[in-house]
Structure 1
Amino acid sequence: MFVLISTLISVAILVGIYHLADKRAKQHARKYRLLILLRDVTCLLRRHRAVTHHAFQNQQPLDDEIAAINQELNSTLHQLVETSRFENKPMYRVLQIKIEKLLKQWQEHSLARNQLEHGKLIRHTLFLMDEVTIAWLAVVQRNDLYDEYQMNWQTVMDNLETLTQLRISIQDIHTPGGVMRIKNYASVMIRKLNQLAVITPLSIAAPIPTKSIHTLNEYIDGRGQALSEEDLYNITSEFSLAIFNSYEQILSDIVETIYRPLPALRLA
């Protein structure tokens, strides 16, 4: 009888360990999948912003390209909602509703408003990525990675906030006060990018952002040629990509440490 009881207890312990391990594996897989899908949504929003901006600026419809991005966004958002846990589905549905609204109404906005609305949704998506990452680090109890990630995350957010202010100011380029504001925000932007370069030097020190930083420095000092509204939008788009690539590197390093490497971005 004693042997039977011991055997049953051992079996129960093994079943419990297996169940816990299986539950933990499913948690990891779900969080990994959520980050991949949210990253894809961010890339698609950036593509949609670029294409619709081009349509505004050059008065070209680009209907086929926009329709293809819309379809991919809707499909990815559907997968995102389906992948999330029941208690988290509402916050992903909110993102889905907001993006669907933008896809339908972007033509009613001004060029500057189009940039602003896309920027809001990109930040919204990044905040959801942050939530998933923080929850994951809590599960694996990696306080060292949590502290490092939080510090790096704040630097990324500071850069995005400054970039938003710079983009908003561009619409006032035709006024003396507007030019002064642009130069002030541009100066802050360069300082923030230099701080980010300490964390992810390869993203900021790449040829394109480096050239744009140099061009913007000359603009601030009045040494270079005057920049047009479109020139400034192009520069901020390059900075946006550099900031996103920095966060991508930060996130990839974290996820690879606690689980497995993130796949290469499939979206340009």
Structure 2
Amino acid sequence: MTGLRYVYAVCRPFGAALQAQLPGVAGAPPRLLTHHGLVAVVSHVPEADFSEEALRAHRDDPDWPAGTARAHQQVVDALTAVTTPLPLRPATVFRDDSAVRVMIERREEEFLRTLDRLAGRVEWGVKVYVDAPEESAESAESAESAEPASRSASGPDHPRQRAEEFAARLHASLSARADDARPHAPRDPGPSGAAGPDVLNAAYLVRRDASEEFVERVDRARDDVPGLRVELTGPWAAYSFAGEETGEETAEPEAGESAGERA
């Protein structure tokens, strides 16, 4: 079959079968390409859509990257159910099988080291949102002017301050049960205003056998502070921890490769 090779992830050989009739990116089913004791999970994609020029053009179409990312995630999720994958960025493509093998050979030690670090672990995501609307600037100023002098030095006890203190305590508690943690930048709540600003947005690398207790810690924290919403997602493949300990992502564009934007 002609076309480029789309690489979803790298993993160690595994015996379990992938989900039957699993569709991949562009509809082609994923297959396993074994080389040097590692497995690259790949599928064929049309050059017309996945060449460097085509990927640049698709960036102007918000629906195309989103659809590719969903199909990519579906394959990685299926892998996560049967092994520990090292996921690569969506839209990581190579010219042919030989180019994929060359990539594996060049990065073999790095892949093996990272797979050892991720073995038996999954990623959980935790976000804490302020559900109650923020106080307006006018009401905040009024409250501050009414504060007794004894409290003005430390500032008023605003809902945002309480939320940040709660988020710090929760992050410390969850980090103690995780092997690693990666805070992400806060996200804008968006024009809908359905959720207030987040005061915690972090990923946690957790052993599978410790995940039940990790989830219980999140559940126990949900009612600690009124006006906050705690959101738990996962378990996922360890995207946030797929790079080296510096936090760099594993898949970088290189000769013979086109890497699209990560969703």
TM range (shorter): under 0.3
The TM-score normalised by the length of structure 2 is: 0.25
The TM-score normalised by the length of structure 1 is: 0.24
